[in-house]
Amino acid sequence: MSKKKQTKSGATIRRVLGLIRPYRGQVVLTLFLAALTVFTTLLAPVLTGKAVDFIIGPGQVDFAGLLKLAIAILVTIFVTAASQWLMGVVNSRITFQVVRDIRVQAFAHLEILPLSYIDAHRPGDTISRLTTDVEQFSDGLLMGFTQLFTGVLTILGTLAVMLTIDWTIALVVVALTPLSIFVARFIAEHTYSMFRVQSETRAELTSLVEELVGNEHLVRAFGYESRAEARFDTINEELHRCGVRATFFSSLTNPCTRFVNALVYAAVGILGAFSAIGGAITVGGLSVFLNYANQYTKPFNDISGVMTELQNALACAQRVFDLIDETPILPDAPDAAALPHGAGSVEFSHVKFRYVPEVPLIEDMNLTARPGQRIALVGPTGCGKTTLVNLLMRFYEINGGTLTVDGHPIDAVTRDSLRANFGMVLQETWLKAGTVAENIAYGKPDATREEIIAAAKKARAHSFITRLPQGYDTPITEDGGNISQGQRQLLCIARVMLRRPPILILDEATSSIDTRTEVLVQDAFEELMKGRTSFIVAHRLSTIKNADQILVMKAGNIIEQGTHEELLTRNGFYANLYRSQFAPA
């Protein structure tokens, strides 16, 4: 393992120990139970050896002594079983508490990551880190707690007892021990990177499956099935290849360490036999020593297996920590004030913004939207219309200039209060798994049923909702899969109408609604937009004829500005765009 990998692995271990620290009381308890288990496990061979020495020959068996030893052995076995069971319970509690903490920490951090991270990473990879990688980490950590403590204590305990019985034979055992350590270390060093590659490939497969299953109707509509299978097979084959490599190396642990154990056992048997013949040790003592030699070497098998699983766990944990270590969004300023619901004025003053530092987008934007104005944004795809929305909502931070809402710079107010002043209806609808009423009240969970119904009526959604099996209590699947696209859009409109914010953002909000319904919704929007500043992103120019101001954008710049009639009179870019949509057939 390279020095860089060793450093990263060590840092991961320290972070895991930091997660365990709050549960140190339970760790102490599990150490005590491990010590008790080891003590009783070491006591059993001693009792067995004494029983062997009580059987001297035919007619010379000490049955009274054997009965006492049998009772002592039964008690020892019971205590061992009970302590092992309790240790398993405590270890499980520690593991699941740590896993809960890391998952909560990762999800909480995900909530404060900038949208640039979300946009740059596939959802399936992030999901895999929060689910599969955390589960893999859980399995490795549980095995580590369960077997590592007892293994180390068993090695130390058996070695101490063997030294007291016959130190010369014990030294032979110790001399052969480095072989097991070397094998375990060699395998552990080579499996960490393999398990990390396996985790990354598994995340890639999860991303692909999430992408294809979520868009299965498009996959079939475009006849993409065979290419989807080919992509899946390619990644699946790569996962198979790296998984086999990781499993092969990890599976070497058991046979290699068992071979070393056999050497140790054979050496103890041969030397012990000669010692017994010479009278240096009794037959019972030799049986005790053989038992201890077996117990001494067995933990090396367990620890080697634990180390392999821990390498997998650490590789998965590192992927989760990488997510947690991503740079979060800039926090609200310490003196940030809460922006009250105001009149809704917005001003861009020499605003600059680039998604990528090397690629220019918005270089010098100046725009003033007075309270109650309707500002329409038009232009070709990629001209910056949605970027303007992202800056208004502070999903992205401006690189220069000033952006104010009601005279307050948006970086001087809290994000929550800023966004509470906006209502968004986007072209892409989003609904959560829940009832119709819960989806309408998503932004105002304390809304009464009367308020929800009133908002639905204004959005012209009440009629179709009442026709649903359970009305407002009808369950909706994730993303509203059991209702039509138009109905989903109406619910999103009702969601904004319930909050009635001072500023509206309508991004092709009626694009998925039939013509008749669109007329009804436009009437509802007319009522909603009265006295409210509205930013309307539109491709269909017929929907923005009544806008107070139309901004024609191209390559991040406002190239034309005015009312519908004024722009047509100028016979410029907007006029050409309008004629291209309404030219006679």
Per-residue pLDDT band for 110 (boundaries 50, 70, 90) equals confident
Beta carbons of 271 and 168 less than 8 angstroms apart = yes
Domain boundaries in the chain? Answer: 3-324, 346-582
Does the pLDDT at position 147 exceed 60? yes
CATH fold group of domain 346-582: Rossmann fold (3.40.50)
In this prediction, residues 299-322 reach a mean pLDDT of 76
Stretch 109-123: mean pLDDT: 82
Q: Give residue 421's identity as a one-letter amino acid code.
A: N
> How confident is residue 559, by pLDDT bands cut at 50, 70 and 90?
confident
The pLDDT value given to residue 432: 81
Q: What is the mean pLDDT of residues 169-175?
A: 76
The residue among 278 and 455 whose pLDDT is bigger is 455
Rounded to whole angstroms, the maximal C-alpha distance in the chain is: 124
Element (H, E) at 424: strand 422-425
Select the more confidently predicted residue: 505 or 7.
Answer: 505
Answer whether 71's CB lies under 8 Å from 110's CB. Answer: no
**550 and 562 Cβ atoms separated by less than 8 Å:** yes
Asked if the model's pLDDT at residue 167 lies above 80, the reply is no
Look at residue 62 in the predicted model and tell me its pLDDT: 67
**What's the confidence (pLDDT) of residue 420?**
86
Contact 490, 522 (CB under 8 A): no
Question: Can you tell me the mean pLDDT for 266-275?
Answer: 77
Give the pLDDT confidence score for residue 131 in this predicted structure.
Answer: 83
Highest mean pLDDT: which range of 180-194, 267-281, 495-509, 524-538: 495-509
The whole-number pLDDT of residue 404 equals 92
Tell whether the model's pLDDT for residue 184 goes beyond 60: yes
Give dist(CA 288, CA 176) in Å, integer.
Answer: 19
Q: Which residues contact 474 (CB under 8 A, 6 or more apart)?
A: 435, 436, 465, 468
Half-sphere exposure of 546 (CA within 13 A, CB side): 8
Residues pairing with 378 in the sheet: 552
Cα torsion 92, 98, 102, 103 to 10°: value is 30
Indicate whether 524 pLDDT > 70. Answer: no
Average pLDDT, the chain: 80
- pLDDT for 585 equals 42
Are 109 and 326 in contact, with CB atoms under 8 Å apart?
A: yes
Question: How far apart are the C-alpha atoms of 101 and 181, rounded to whole Å?
Answer: 33
Main-chain dihedrals φ then ψ at residue 507, nearest 5 degrees? -105, 95
Average pLDDT over residues 455-467: 86
What average pLDDT does this structure show over 468-475? 89
Residue-wise pLDDT for 421-448, tens only, equals 888 887 777 788 888 899 888 888 888 9
pLDDT of 402 reads 92
* Residue 480 neighbours by CB under 8 Å, 6+ apart: 429, 431, 439, 487, 488, 491
Q: What integer is the mean pLDDT of 147-171?
A: 78
- The half-sphere exposure of 177 on its side-chain side, counting CA atoms within 13 A, is 19
Q: What is the pLDDT of residue 517?
A: 63
Strand 374-378 to strand 533-537: parallel, antiparallel, or no bridges (unpaired)? parallel
Asked whether this chain's domains 3-324 and 346-582 adopt the same fold, the reply is no
- In a 3-state reduction of DSSP, which class is residue 402? strand
- Check: CATH 3.40.50.2300 for 3-324? no
Rg (CA), the chain: 35
pLDDT tens digits, one per residue of 48-63: 767 766 665 555 666 7
Above 60 in pLDDT, residue 315? yes
Percentage of residues of the chain with pLDDT beyond 70:
85
Tokens of 396: 């992205």
Rounded Cα distance between 50 and 287, Å, is 10
